[in-house]
Chains A and B, each alone.
Chain A
Amino acid sequence: MITRDAFDTLADALLAEAQGGEVLLLGYYAEDTDFARLNRARLRQAGHVAQRELHVELIDGARHASADIQLQDDAQADLAQARAELASLRELLPQLPEDPYLAYAAEVRPSESVADGELGTREAWLDAIAASADDLDLVGLLARGVQAHGFANSLGQRNWHAAASFNFDWSLHAAGGRAVKSRYAGSRWNPEQLTARVAAARRRLDALARPTQTPATGHHRAFLAPAALGELLDLLGWGGFGLKSLRTGQSPLQRLADGRDALHPAVKLREARAGSPAPGFSEAGYLLPAEVSLVEGGRFGSALAGPRSAREFGVDVNARMEAPEALEMDGGDLAEADVLATLGDGLYLSDLWYCNYSDRNACRITGMSRYACFAVAGGELAGPLAPMRFDASIYDLLGDGLQALTRERERLADASTYERRSTATQQLPGILVDGFPLTL
């Protein structure tokens, strides 16, 4: 079981070992997660992961080094291991040069955030999945459990952020490669919501039974649902808003940041950390701002600055990593119910896939359509799209090509589980664009 006491006890003992002018920073991560992987609505692989990690950073003057270790949840054993790592860092430090970009929070600002949840039992989840999808080819992953992030330093600061949550990321599949993607994430499990989402996906799967459409390559009007837009913005976060990337000319948004180009005035993007599942503090102990404006009225706002590049370039720290973790985009005037009629003839893109830069200087991105994407004719779904490749510049899609944003926005919880469960989120509208280029 994850408790703040376990971290506090370890931190108390370890921080007391700081010698002379040394400063110690400790970061803690704990996760107790059930993972249930499904194929054809049956369990393919299921289990439980309990992991505890400690980040130890030793600073002496302008020299510093860090180590990550895994903990056992045994106070004595964990302290012994952390002490050994601290001793190893202390031995290493004199070998290292001084670091001109060393940065850590010197002001003591404690915080605590604890969000419990009702996650449902394993049995209840499996019963609900079996009851609603027994006749369906459902594939996906249920992740449910508690995550905790902690910080402590020898200056006296303590921060704690713990939350219980679930994220069921799944899709329904039918003959001919037809598939519908859906998601159910939150902290209050409700089997009726799951049943309703499966039923909605089932109806959409039925709509895919029409003949597959393969549109000609070239430019099309298109509606990108929030998840499709989210794929593009997720990639854009990869070097787009980071201070170091911008100051070394490597950002795909360089032209926007330099004022050589602009997006549509309706584009407003911000990192909105308040209320997000991501912790509000960094590994260096900085409390992060509730909001950072990234794009305002189509113009570049602020870069995301982590501690090290903030020191290098002389700005304030406003991010843990130099990529959005809680990205929000303002909506517009288009009612979701009017999307098909407004689109008329074109493409309805529910999901995009495998996006990557084809030209970073022009912020051009290539990727594929995936899941329930449709050709639309006369404001009606004409049939599912064959997998189609696009290659488009963000300066076009969110610039002159942007025609409308939906009033409604969708909150998307990142289902990524590399090394640990992601706490990143996006809150996005759908967008209607002209000139969406299909290339293959």
Chain B
Amino acid sequence: MESDLHAISTRFRAVAPACDYWTLRVVATREERLAVRQGVPEPVARSRALGAMVTVEVDGGIGYGATSDLSGSGLRRAAGEAVAWARLAARLPLPGAEQLTRLATSGDYASPVEDPWDGVSAADKLAWLAATAPRLRAGEQIVDWFAALYHRDQQVLLADGAGHATLQHFSWVAPTLRAVASDGMLTESRTVGGANAVRQGGLEQLASLGFPDRADAVGEEALALLAAPPCPSGSTDLLLMPSQMVLQIHESIGHPLELDRILGDERNYAGTSFVTPEMFGSYRYGSELLNVTFDPTLPEQAVSYAWDDAGTPAERAHLIRDGLLERPLGGALSQLRSGLPGTANSRACDWNRPPIDRMANLNVEPGATPFAELVGGIERGVLMDTNRSWSIDDSRNKFQFGCEFGRVIRDGELGEVVRDCNYRGISAGFWRNLAAVGDAETFHVAGVLNCGKGEPNQAVFVGHASPACVFRDVDVFSEA
């Protein structure tokens, strides 16, 4: 597979179409999945992808052509498709969306990697998994156990006809440790990593994601859940650990603040938003303890980058400060359409999908309360850890989440383990009941591997970091 993306860009310049403006985005991706289930290595699966998207602006219309044929003739055909669609778009334009974002800078970015994925052979990594997986089997009632490692390497080149070019080289790792316990009537599972833990970097990141040290605890906690009573029901205090805060931030802050949803683009698929343009600058989203940032600067976080896929330089910005809503998650085109400020979050999942407004790194900033005081401040409540179920309405208001693992809290002390933990609420009221925010010691950097959105559909990585947080008067339950 061709590895010099600049050479592809040079090849395209020779066949670039006559148009008002063009960009070329070339994406090269390499992935590997290794797993051991019940002592048996799963088949090693590798993939390599390389393709390009040509986007053009013609007479106020924008069109794209994407292809895996990167020969001169293939790129010329893709450009022809882009021009044809741009001309049709000019006939039926969405007002305000006719301007292709102009690149203004050039440069390079690379993930910081200490221990490269390729520095350890597949055989050695499989041996590591084979040695780890048995630790998940804490007893006879563990009926399925699974340890896995995933790696993605991706280079993204974005260039334009004016000579600008940015080249970004990303490396991600994501581990999974999972144990399933069953007594034949009831089945409970415990997971570390999985769909909610991905980091930028190399193998050095695995330890902070719990791999492999959490393996014993995963198996033991699965057995504990099998023997545990159901989560109690009622309105109570809720202590959410970072592994659940990831989903709470994602669904009830991230998605409602996406500007393309507010502009109506997603109403046929991912949905709209209860947030309206008038709310920015004045709406109380949460209690004064709530501070939410768009932060592309944490080097290990999944979606730190120097530019988004529209070429806009990425900078840290507060979306919610002291509980007040300041700005949406909107890329340059959405900012133009709405007249609102935004962020560099125009992102595409691959070469064959166009950029749209996405979350990147979206974090709740740490507060000042140590974990012991979070627990100590709760007279009656439940601690919930690790998302296992998520559902929210299409305007991102009425939600219900489920967690793998819970513990009752009584009189400021952690009590027994409880299973089948669910809670539900309405976004606005929920965040206003944020009563305590954990300090930096409770702050954990994680992410989501499968955020789906867009037409055509796109699944992307998203970074979320959060401390543990306490919410008052939450409706928790096991059975609806």
Point out residues on A near B: beta carbons under 8 Å: 34-37, 39-53, 64-74, 77, 81, 84-85, 88-89, 92, 95-97, 99-102, 122-123, 126, 130, 137, 139-141, 143, 169-171, 173, 177, 179, 181, 248-250, 254, 308, 353-362, 364, 366-368, 370, 387, 389, 391-392, 416-419, 437, 439-440
Closest 7 pairs (CB-CB, A-B): A47-B64, A391-B480, A95-B123, A249-B182, A141-B455, A48-B81, A417-B456
- For B46, the closest partner residue in chain A by CB is A67
Q: Given A96-B123, A361-B187, A418-B459, A353 and B394 touching (CB < 8 A)?
A: yes
Q: Report the minimum CB–CB distance from B434 to chain A (whole Å).
A: 20
17 sampled A-B residue pairs with Cβ under 8 A: A45-B356, A48-B66, A50-B68, A50-B77, A96-B41, A122-B85, A123-B88, A169-B269, A171-B267, A177-B272, A248-B144, A250-B144, A356-B390, A357-B402, A358-B389, A367-B391, A417-B455
| A residues less than 8 Å from B64 (CB atoms) | 45-48
| A residues less than 8 Å from B354 (CB atoms) | 45, 47
| A residues less than 8 Å from B77 (CB atoms) | 50
Binary contact track B25-53/A, C-beta < 8 Å → 1, others 0: 00000000000000011011111111101
| B residues less than 8 Å from A389 (CB atoms) | 391, 393, 398, 400, 424
In this assembly, does B442 line the interface, its C-beta being within 8 Å of a C-beta of chain A? no
Which DSSP category, helix, strand, loop or mixed, fits chain A's interface? strand
Q: Are A139 and B264 interface neighbours, CB within 8 A?
A: yes
Q: Which of B89-97, B107-115, B163-171, B303-311 interfaces with chain A?
A: B89-97
| A residues less than 8 Å from B91 (CB atoms) | 126
Q: Given A250-B187, A387-B398, A391-B480, A97 and B41 touching (CB < 8 A)?
A: yes
| B residues less than 8 Å from A392 (CB atoms) | 480
B310-345 contacts to A, CB under 8 A, are: none
| B residues less than 8 Å from A249 (CB atoms) | 143-144, 180, 182, 184, 187
Q: Are A99 and B40 interface neighbours, CB within 8 A?
A: yes
- For B188, the closest partner residue in chain A by CB is A361
Which one of A51, A65, A126 lies within 8 Å of B51 (CB-CB)?
A51
Binary contact track B375-402/A, C-beta < 8 Å → 1, others 0: 0000000000000011111110110101
Q: In the assembly, what is the distance between CA of A392 and CA of B400, in Å?
A: 13
Q: Are B265 and A37 interface neighbours, CB within 8 A?
A: yes
Q: In the assembly, what is the distance between CA of A43 and CA of B85, in Å?
A: 10
- For B350, the closest partner residue in chain A by CB is A419
Which one of B40, B184, B263, B480 lies within 8 Å of A366 (CB-CB)?
B480
| B residues less than 8 Å from A42 (CB atoms) | 92-95
In this assembly, does B406 line the interface, its C-beta being within 8 Å of a C-beta of chain A? no
- 7 further A-B pairs in the complex, CB-CB below 8 A; given A248-B180, A358-B402: A39-B94, A51-B352, A70-B68, A353-B394, A389-B391, A419-B459, A440-B424
Binary contact track B245-262/A, C-beta < 8 Å → 1, others 0: 000000000000000000
- For B184, the closest partner residue in chain A by CB is A249
Q: Are A73 and B456 interface neighbours, CB within 8 A?
A: no
- For A33, the closest partner residue in chain B by CB is B456
Q: Are B121 and A95 interface neighbours, CB within 8 A?
A: yes
Q: Report the minimum CB–CB distance from A40 to chain B (whole Å).
A: 6
Q: In the assembly, what is the distance between CA of A389 and CA of B475, in Å?
A: 14
- For A312, the closest partner residue in chain B by CB is B40
Which one of A65, A143, A360 lies within 8 Å of B187 (CB-CB)?
A360
In this assembly, does B63 line the interface, its C-beta being within 8 Å of a C-beta of chain A? yes
Q: Are A387 and B395 interface neighbours, CB within 8 A?
A: yes
| A residues less than 8 Å from B69 (CB atoms) | 50, 52, 72-74
In this assembly, does B186 line the interface, its C-beta being within 8 Å of a C-beta of chain A? yes
Point out residues on B near A: beta carbons under 8 Å: 1, 40-41, 43-51, 53, 55, 61-71, 74, 77-78, 81-82, 84-85, 88-89, 91-95, 97, 121-123, 126, 143-144, 180, 182, 184, 186-187, 189, 263-265, 267-269, 271-272, 350, 352-354, 356, 389-395, 397-398, 400, 402, 420, 422, 424, 426, 452, 455-459, 478-480
Q: In the assembly, what is the distance between CA of A357 and CA of B51, in Å?
A: 37
Which one of A74, A139, A357 lies within 8 Å of B71 (CB-CB)?
A74
| A residues less than 8 Å from B189 (CB atoms) | 250
- For B56, the closest partner residue in chain A by CB is A47
Q: Given A70-B50, A95-B123, A46 and B88 touching (CB < 8 A)?
A: yes
Q: Report the minimum CB–CB distance from A389 to chain B (whole Å).
A: 5
| B residues less than 8 Å from A44 (CB atoms) | 94, 97, 265
| A residues less than 8 Å from B271 (CB atoms) | 353
Q: Are A358 and B400 interface neighbours, CB within 8 A?
A: yes
Which one of A39, A48, A53, A141 lies within 8 Å of B85 (CB-CB)?
A48
Q: Are A141 and B268 interface neighbours, CB within 8 A?
A: yes
Q: Are B41 and A353 interface neighbours, CB within 8 A?
A: no
Q: In the assembly, what is the distance between CA of A335 and CA of B95, in Å?
A: 45
Q: In the assembly, what is the distance between CA of A440 and CA of B397, in Å?
A: 11
- For A179, the closest partner residue in chain B by CB is B267
Q: Are B424 and A418 interface neighbours, CB within 8 A?
A: no
Q: Are A368 and B394 interface neighbours, CB within 8 A?
A: yes
Q: Are A143 and B456 interface neighbours, CB within 8 A?
A: yes
| A residues less than 8 Å from B55 (CB atoms) | 47
Q: Report the minimum CB–CB distance from B473 to chain A (whole Å).
A: 15
Q: In the assembly, what is the distance between CA of A359 and CA of B187, in Å?
A: 10
Q: Are A40 and B264 interface neighbours, CB within 8 A?
A: yes
| B residues less than 8 Å from A173 (CB atoms) | 264, 267
| B residues less than 8 Å from A355 (CB atoms) | 391
- For A134, the closest partner residue in chain B by CB is B92
Which one of B81, B88, B422 lies within 8 Å of A126 (CB-CB)?
B88
Q: Given A355-B391, A358-B422, A96 and B51 touching (CB < 8 A)?
A: no
Q: Are B46 and A96 interface neighbours, CB within 8 A?
A: no
| B residues less than 8 Å from A248 (CB atoms) | 143-144, 180, 182
Q: In the assembly, what is the distance between CA of A389 and CA of B426, in Å?
A: 11
Q: Are B186 and A361 interface neighbours, CB within 8 A?
A: yes
Q: Report the minimum CB–CB distance from A378 to chain B (whole Å).
A: 28
| B residues less than 8 Å from A362 (CB atoms) | 479
Q: In the assembly, what is the distance between CA of A99 and CA of B479, in Å?
A: 42
| A residues less than 8 Å from B459 (CB atoms) | 418-419
Q: In the assembly, what is the distance between CA of A64 and CA of B426, in Å?
A: 50
Q: Are A43 and B267 interface neighbours, CB within 8 A?
A: no
Q: Are B400 and A68 interface neighbours, CB within 8 A?
A: no
Q: Given A81-B1, A358-B480, A440-B424, A68 and B47 touching (CB < 8 A)?
A: yes
Q: In the assembly, what is the distance between CA of A47 and CA of B126, in Å?
A: 42
- For B74, the closest partner residue in chain A by CB is A72
Q: In the assembly, what is the distance between CA of A49 and CA of B53, in Å?
A: 9
Q: Are A65 and B92 interface neighbours, CB within 8 A?
A: no
Q: Are A48 and B65 interface neighbours, CB within 8 A?
A: yes
Q: Are B71 and A101 interface neighbours, CB within 8 A?
A: no
Q: Given A47-B66, A50-B67, A356-B391, A67 and B94 touching (CB < 8 A)?
A: no
Q: Are A68 and B44 interface neighbours, CB within 8 A?
A: no
Q: In the assembly, what is the distance between CA of A171 and CA of B123, in Å?
A: 51
| A residues less than 8 Å from B398 (CB atoms) | 368, 387, 389, 440
Q: In the assembly, what is the distance between CA of A186 and CA of B44, in Å?
A: 37
Q: Report the minimum CB–CB distance from A261 to chain B (whole Å).
A: 12
Q: Are A177 and B93 interface neighbours, CB within 8 A?
A: no
Q: Given A48-B81, A65-B43, A389-B398, A73 and B89 touching (CB < 8 A)?
A: no
- For A100, the closest partner residue in chain B by CB is B40
Q: Report the minimum CB–CB distance from B362 to chain A (whole Å).
A: 20
Q: In the assembly, what is the distance between CA of A66 and CA of B180, in Å?
A: 28
Q: In the assembly, what is the distance between CA of A85 and CA of B268, in Å?
A: 40
Q: Report the minimum CB–CB distance from B176 to chain A (whole Å).
A: 15
| A residues less than 8 Å from B85 (CB atoms) | 34, 36, 46-48, 122
Q: In the assembly, what is the distance between CA of A72 and CA of B69, in Å?
A: 4
Q: In the assembly, what is the distance between CA of A101 and CA of B68, in Å?
A: 34
Which of B187, B264, B269, B391 gathers the greatest number of chain A CB atoms within 10 Å? B391
Q: Are A170 and B268 interface neighbours, CB within 8 A?
A: yes
Q: Are A46 and B456 interface neighbours, CB within 8 A?
A: no
Q: Are B455 and A70 interface neighbours, CB within 8 A?
A: no
Q: In the assembly, what is the distance between CA of A249 and CA of B91, in Å?
A: 56
Q: Report the minimum CB–CB distance from A405 to chain B (whole Å).
A: 25
| A residues less than 8 Å from B265 (CB atoms) | 37, 39, 44, 139
Q: In the assembly, what is the distance between CA of A52 and CA of B51, in Å?
A: 10
Which one of B44, B263, B389, B424 lies within 8 Å of A357 (CB-CB)?
B389
